[in-house]
Amino acid sequence: MNADLDKAYWLGLLISVVLPVLVGLVTKRVTHAGVKAVLLLALSTLNGFLVELANPGPDYDLGTAVILSLVAFGIGVLSHFGLWKPVGVSDKAQAALGGGAPRSV
């Protein structure tokens, strides 16, 4: 693998970890969890396809883009429930743009 491709993959991984916070920023607390999950899936899919597009190779591989999208979604869900939600970042993100006051623990 070349260094440019490695950078694209690492950037995609970092974006996958931050996507749940972005979903929290653009949705309200009363938004159904299913809507938030679909939004996270859509953003993860976009992330996966853009990472493959950033691939400096000669061709675009749709299979790789799909795999990257699924990995991005999995990482997004895991980082939400394993990192952002337990430390309270999810609640603060929901409250940041008028989503209501953060819940007290």
pLDDT by residue, tens only, the chain of 105 residues: 566 557 888 899 999 999 999 998 888 878 898 999 999 999 999 999 999 888 777 788 899 899 999 999 999 999 999 998 899 888 888 888 765 655 554
Q: Domain for residue 101, yes or no?
A: no
Q: Domain for residue 71, yes or no?
A: yes
55 token code pair: 């691939």
């929901």: which residue's tokens? 94
Q: Domain for residue 102, yes or no?
A: no
Q: Domain for residue 11, yes or no?
A: yes
16 token code pair: 């996958």
What distances in angstroms separate CA 51 from CA 21, 32, 56, one per listed residue?
Answer: 20, 29, 10
Q: Domain for residue 90, yes or no?
A: yes
Q: What is the CA radius of gyration of the chain?
A: 15
DSSP state of 101: P
Q: What is the total count of domains within the chain?
A: 1
88 φ/ψ sector (left φ>0, alpha ψ -120 to 50, else beta):
left
Q: Which domain holds residue 15?
A: 3-96
Q: What is the pLDDT of residues 84-96, one digit of tens each?
A: 889 988 888 888 8
Q: Domain for residue 70, yes or no?
A: yes
Q: Domain for residue 103, yes or no?
A: no
